[in-house]
Amino acid sequence: MLDIVNVEYDTLIPNNVSLSQDKRVLKALERWHPGYINWWKGMGPEGFQESLVYLRTAVSVDPKGWAKFDYVKMPEYRWGVLLAPQVEDRRIPCGEHLGQPVWHEVPGEYRSMLRRLVVIQGDTEPASVEQQRHLGKTAPSLYDMRNLFQVNVEEGRHLWAMVYLLQKYFGADGREEADELLRRQSGSVESPRMLGAFNEATPDWLSFFMFTYFTDRDGKMQLESLAQSGFDPLSRTCRFMLTEEAHHMFVGETGVGRVIQRTCEAMKAAGIDDPYDIEKVRALGVIDLPTIQKKLNLHYTLSLDLFGSEISTNAANAFNAGIKGRYQEAKIEDDHQLHNATYPVMQLVDGVVVTTQVPALSAINMRLRDDYSRDAAGGVKRWNLAIEKSGIAFQMKLPHDGFHRQIGIFAQVPMTPDGIILTAGEWQKRKDEWLPTRADGDFIQSLMKPVWESGQYAGWIAPPKIGIDNKPGDFEYVQLHMA
Ligand code: BYC
Ligand code: FE
Ligand code: FE
């Protein structure tokens, strides 16, 4: 019986897709499993595979009670295949097939487009685990360490989600792609991960918090678009992934917020009012606000690149096919086909930034990126409220969309965070004002000393306001068993 709410636990792979009745796919996944565990042990959190971590595991897809918390050794985490419940009589929400019943099998004409999107989505998930694998060793508390590992195991589950789609719906080439997902590696020269930001290092915890705030949020926006897909299994998969994603961005927003809060408190206590008195602030053992801004600049712009080119035929085709929708497609009041619609896109004309109207169908990536920027601005506003409250004259800011870009209209255009175009020489001279330098990185690294006693926190970060799963402040979120 297909039970959409409760999860089957009698198979090696927990699932709510009746794998025990789908022998072919169950076998394929069981064959893939050892390679995955091997990858997790080799490329997952380094040094903590024996530790008991207080993790949530998805046990249902009921939004009211889908997770249960318990101590787990990470390699024994029950990574499962979970789809959100099927919506009855769901219709294709956009494009040329608008209003037709959704597909439950891969439509032949869109097979390669769909496979490409699933593979790209799948590639980012293990990439982030690889990028974060060294961070456990410098965790500023057991609480933070646990949150890191929670994010990691869930990104592992997101990989399972995409591998299930590949194995079930894409035959032999799906199987090959599933194997490739374990072969590519973040930062590798011969076989790197597919998208730029996923080959960058995550060298310290401030980067980790910025990554989960900005880059996981690209994940949210992309999953929201794929949740609109007329290919129903993809839609249902992404809808459930989104419930997990919220926690990742919570870790990012509160993480950056706690770093900022600690810096402001330390400055106040020492009677320092000038946020630009960097040496004095750093001497307190906290990260100065301008350096936090530089990290923000870096991670925000790397994440903007993940939306692809502002004007894209790939994106137009995917929308038109009903394979990928817009953010909250159903709430948009238009024809959902974009026959005559236009959308404003910034362009560079004779060295000047101008906004022009282009066919909306070609600007699907741009629109999603704009939705992303609005979403990302929310947390920045909350960080600024905290700075303001402490009476320090400083505000964090999202840089101009053209600053420090590698993809699209502004790729390689030298520009300040305020959007002023520079010469290549000026950029070289001034870029250290806006992006983290080696020295900034070294300073942050010097603070990255592990604090592993229950209830204790490193001096550069404030404790959280509340515990995970309502646990008290001195709860032992990770029971360490060092390898
Ligand atoms: N790096 O028409 P264009 C997440 C390529 S994050 C390298 O502009 P399109 C997560 C592009 O592939 C969400 N290459 O782009 C977060 C194309 O190459 P080909 C991940 C890039 O296709 C944190 C060419 O440039 N999911 O889940 O409209 C932790 C021209 O492309 C990049 C998805 O991204 C880049 N940044 O849009 C864990 C959803 N950008 O094919 C997880 C699936 C573009 O000509 N992906 N290129 O050789 C997509 O929907 C689209 O592929 C993209 C690009 C939005 C990524
Ligand atoms: Fe993910
Ligand atoms: Fe995530």
Q: Which two tokens stand for residue 69?
A: 């918390």
Summarize pLDDT for 174-226 with one digit per residue, the tens: 999 999 999 999 999 999 999 999 999 999 999 999 999 999 999 999 999 99
Q: Which two tokens stand for residue 381?
A: 């506003």
How far away, in angstroms, is 231 Cα from ligand 1 center? 19
In this structure, which topology does domain 19-479 adopt according to CATH? Ribonucleotide Reductase, subunit A (1.10.620)
Residue nearest atom 23 in ligand 1 by C-alpha distance: 216
User: What confidence score (pLDDT) does residue 65 get?
Assistant: 77
Q: What residue ranges do the domains of the chain occupy?
A: 19-479
Placement of tokens 């600053």 in the chain: 403
Q: Is the pLDDT of residue 481 over 90?
A: no
Summarize pLDDT for 126-136 with one digit per residue, the tens: 999 999 999 99
In whole angstroms, what is the distance from residue 143 CA to residue 251 CA?
11
User: What confidence score (pLDDT) does residue 61 get?
Assistant: 82
Identify which of 119, 222, 304 to mutate to test ligand 1's pocket (most ligand atoms within 8 A of the CB): 222
CB 394 within 8 Å of CB 289: yes
For the chain, the residue count is 483
* pTM of this structure: 0.97
- Ligand 1 site residues (CB inside 6 A) read 117, 120-121, 124-125, 128, 155, 195-196, 215-216, 218-219, 222, 305-309, 312, 314-315, 365, 407
Q: Is the pLDDT of residue 280 over 50?
A: yes
Q: Is the pLDDT of residue 4 over 80?
A: no
Tell me what the mean pLDDT of segment 455-460 comes to: 98
Q: pLDDT averaged over the chain?
A: 96
In whole angstroms, what is the distance from residue 193 CA to residue 61 CA?
30
Lowest-pLDDT choice from 65-79, 159-173, 352-366, 452-466 = 65-79
Q: Which two tokens stand for residue 395?
A: 């505000």
Q: How does residue 390 score in pLDDT terms, banded at 50, 70 and 90?
A: very high
User: What confidence score (pLDDT) does residue 7 get?
Assistant: 81
Q: Which atom of ligand 1 lies nearest, measured to the CA of 121?
A: 26
In whole angstroms, what is the distance from residue 465 CA to residue 460 CA?
16
Q: Is the pLDDT of residue 431 over 50?
A: yes
What SS3 class is residue 302? helix
Tell me what the mean pLDDT of segment 336-349 comes to: 96
What SS3 class is residue 262? helix
In eight-state DSSP terms, residue 423 is -
Identify which of 152, 159, 241, 306 to mutate to test ligand 1's pocket (most ligand atoms within 8 A of the CB): 306
% of the chain beyond a pLDDT of 90: 94
What SS3 class is residue 319? helix
CB 311 within 8 Å of CB 345: yes
How far away, in angstroms, is 47 Cα from ligand 1 center? 32
In whole angstroms, what is the distance from residue 304 CA to residue 215 CA?
9
Tell me what the mean pLDDT of segment 136-154 comes to: 98
User: What confidence score (pLDDT) does residue 472 get?
Assistant: 94
Tell me what the mean pLDDT of segment 83-106 comes to: 97
Q: Is the pLDDT of residue 5 over 60?
A: no
Q: Which atom of ligand 1 lies nearest, measured to the CA of 221?
A: 13
Tell me what the mean pLDDT of segment 442-470 comes to: 97
DSSP string computed for 154-181? HHHHHHHHHHHHHHHHSHHHHHHHHHHH
- Burial level of 96, CB count in 10 A (0-12/13-18/19+)? exposed
User: What confidence score (pLDDT) does residue 209 get?
Assistant: 98
- Cβ count near 93 (within 10 Å): 20
Placement of tokens 């997790």 in the chain: 40
Tell me what the mean pLDDT of segment 319-348 comes to: 97
Q: Is the pLDDT of residue 10 over 80?
A: no
The number of angstroms, rounded, from the C-alpha of 201 to the middle of its chain's C-alpha atoms is: 14
CB 285 within 8 Å of CB 459: yes
Of 483, 387, 475, the closest CA to residue 143 belongs to 475
Q: Which atom of ligand 1 lies nearest, measured to the CA of 307?
A: 55
Strands 67-73, 352-359: pairing kind: unpaired
Q: Is the pLDDT of residue 345 over 50?
A: yes
In whole angstroms, what is the distance from residue 76 CA to residue 53 CA?
11
Q: How does residue 154 score in pLDDT terms, banded at 50, 70 and 90?
A: very high
User: What confidence score (pLDDT) does residue 2 get?
Assistant: 42
In whole angstroms, what is the distance from residue 113 CA to residue 110 CA?
5
How far away, in angstroms, is 338 Cα from ligand 3 center? 31
User: What confidence score (pLDDT) does residue 64 get?
Assistant: 78
